Amino acid sequence: MTVQFKPAETFRDTFTYKKSPEDLLRFPFPFPEDSYMYSVNIEPHVRGGPTAAFQAVFDIDEHYIAECKERARVLAEDPKRCQVLPHMMTAEWDTLELIMESLAADYPEHFTLSKDGDAWTWVNRPLGIQQSFIFGKAETLPCGPFEYITRQAQGDFTLQDQREDNLFVDGGMVTTQADWSLEFDIGMSFHEWHGPVPLAHEKGVFDRALKYLLRLQYGQPVRRLNWTMTVNPRLDTSPENYPVWGPDKASVTPQNVADKVHLRVELQTLYRLPRSNAILFGIRCYLTSVADIAKVPKWRRRLHRVLRDLNPDIAAYKGLPRFREMVVDYLAPLDDGAPTSAGI
């Protein structure tokens, strides 16, 4: 899996982020049907799937270097985006091991992990890092093991402790999120942190999802897709920075809607960790402009129908009302009315 990185692209101010044609084809388009409703859409996280984004345990793409730089910038401006409660130290090391071993196995040309007992050496060529350290001794790394390794992966991560038949979000690295706050949620239980989501509680979605996750097995990770829409290719749409990105919504016009509005998809993965019994939750974000979506006939048809018929409570929760109709109007003439086959 050879990747050509684009280290200079930006996710704020100048917004030079763009997808190559190859990158567009690996986008994990999230809709298996012409309509959308919350469900427990969890499946095994195995290699394979509709696009190349599902080929690795932790997906790396052409935006890797630029995204790591952007996330480092967010952390420098707001160090509280990474917090782990002290009882999660074993889970921190579990995470470091899982991510290092997976990246080294999936992308040997970019990452190497060598071990001599507990003396490990990690090489990350794209970011120019070579680090020797003792596994289990945090003082041998430049920062905590969870922060160290999640700075070198695309996407956000949270750590869930399992106790009292529940999950508690007791740690996270959350720099590229769709309008939720780790600082606000840390320490909350599964139903508490999902509190603001409309409709899904009444439908029993969170009861069933929690039951499933409490039984998640080591070595059998699972995944699901989530989605929203973002104005401009901006990764950091946190509540903390709402004054920076909130006003962007007012900048959408019928003339610029296709280039400005992006479908934001999260490939979410969940792993039972071996020593701590905690769960690692990965939130890998993919941004594609409506103009790029429109290049693929089955995607533009389906996005048009999903947005046109979307439940208004879900549309409001996702923050779409200011521009949803403009996207629907742009896509409507591009929907030829053909039936879309089941699947993606």
Q: Which residues here bind ligand HEM, judged by CB under 6 A? A: 38, 40, 42, 158, 160, 167, 169, 180, 185, 193-194, 196-197, 200, 205, 209, 213, 224, 226, 228, 279, 281, 317-318
Using CA atoms, how far residue 297 sits from 35, 225, 334, 335, in Å, is 17, 21, 8, 8
Considering the complex, what minimum distance in angstroms separates the CB of residue 160 from ligand HEM?
5
Considering the complex, what minimum distance in angstroms separates the CB of residue 5 from ligand HEM?
29
Nearer to ligand HEM, 15 or 180 (CB): 180
Residue 105 neighbours by CB under 8 Å, 6+ apart: 57
Distance, in Å, from the CA atom of 138 to the CA atom of 88, rounded to the nearest integer, reads: 13
Nearer to ligand HEM, 120 or 281 (CB): 281
Angle of CA points 42, 227, 241, to nearest 5°: 125
The single residue of 224, 272, 300, 308 carrying the catalytic annotation is 224
Nearer to ligand HEM, 18 or 201 (CB): 201
Nearer to ligand HEM, 87 or 115 (CB): 87
* Residue 26 known to be catalytic: no
User: SS3 letters for 155-218?
Assistant: CEEEEEEEECCEEEEEEEECCCCECCCHHHHCCCEHHHHCCCCCCCCCCCHHHHHHHHHHCCCC
Considering the complex, what minimum distance in angstroms separates the CB of residue 39 from ligand HEM?
7
Backbone angles phi, psi at 35, to 5 degrees: -135, 165
Backbone angles phi, psi at 73, to 5 degrees: -65, -45
Considering the complex, what minimum distance in angstroms separates the CB of residue 100 from ligand HEM?
22
Active site residues: 224
